[in-house]
Amino acid sequence: MMRSFLSAVAAILLCAAPAAAQDHRVFVNVNYGGLIQKQDLKQTATFLIYDETGTWESDHTIEGGSFFDIGGGFKLSRNFLVGASFTQGSTQTRDITINASVPSPVFTDTFRSTSATATGLEHKERAIHLQALLQIPVTVEFGVTLFAGPTFFTIEDGLVSGFSLSETGGGFTSVNLTDIRTEGQKHTTTGFHVGFDAQYMFMKNAGVGGMVRYSKGSVDLDAPADTGSERFKIDTGGLEIGAGLRFRF
């Protein structure tokens, strides 16, 4: 997808001639790029078995991925504009290790360590950005736009929701985690964004550009039912760098 997108942009650049300055009132921007973010989260929990309390934990690493962004708006005055954009991030899939400390059914205050892997946990982000924009013309064809405003995030993420225990070995010396279960959650939150966009208009109504945007928000993921795990916060957004087509009407 990215290769086809860049090929289309290159073909337009080779075939088009520079354009004269135009007093356009409506803009549309289309971008494809990457989100630069990485965060490490820990899911911890307790459970009751054999009249004692066991514990387990899992480490989640969530990384940024690619995104597609489309937006537009209109001028209110010579250099001031208002607009909005929609960002769809790619689905990120991760595998995690669950480490548990399980009480012995025979001896008090004796614990067995065990671990298992949960696979296919997904993370998705979408965002709607409302923007106030300041346009700064540099030359006839080239300009820079500064923008900022609120952002409305939608986050989908997977957590461990439970597992079963299977005693193994003679004398209850070891135990296995089986039937690993996961749960997807969906949350919304409000944050903010700031950034700038640079455009080169090589035709009357079309050009190319690059965007740098930083957005920020956070949500509290709920503890899955009956796991005894604690809620924890997950950050949304991050540093986004993209490039694509610019249209003016």
Q: What is the DSSP string of the chain?
A: -HHHHHHHHHHHHHH----------EEEEEEEEEEE-EEEEEEEEEEEETTEEEEEEEEEEEE--EEEEEEEEEESSSSEEEEEEEEEEPPEEEEEEEEEEEE-SSSTT-EEEEEEEEEEEEEEEEEEEEEEEEEEE-SSSEEEEEEEEEEEEEEEEEEEEEEEEEEESGGG-EEEEEEEEEEEEEEEEEEEEEEEEEEE--SSSEEEEEEEEEEEEEEEEPPPTTS-BPPEEEEEEEEEEEEEEEEE-
156: domain range? 2-248
pLDDT of residue 4: 54
pLDDT of residue 84: 98
pLDDT of residue 109: 92
User: Percent of the chain at pLDDT above 70?
Assistant: 89
Domain with 164 in it: what CATH number? 2.40.160.20
Decide if pLDDT at 168 tops 90: no
Tell me the per-residue pLDDT of 100-111, one tens digit each, with 9 for 90 and over: 999 999 999 999
Tell me the per-residue pLDDT of 20-34, one tens digit each, with 9 for 90 and over: 445 789 999 999 999
User: Percent of the chain at pLDDT above 90?
Assistant: 75
**pTM summary value:** 0.84
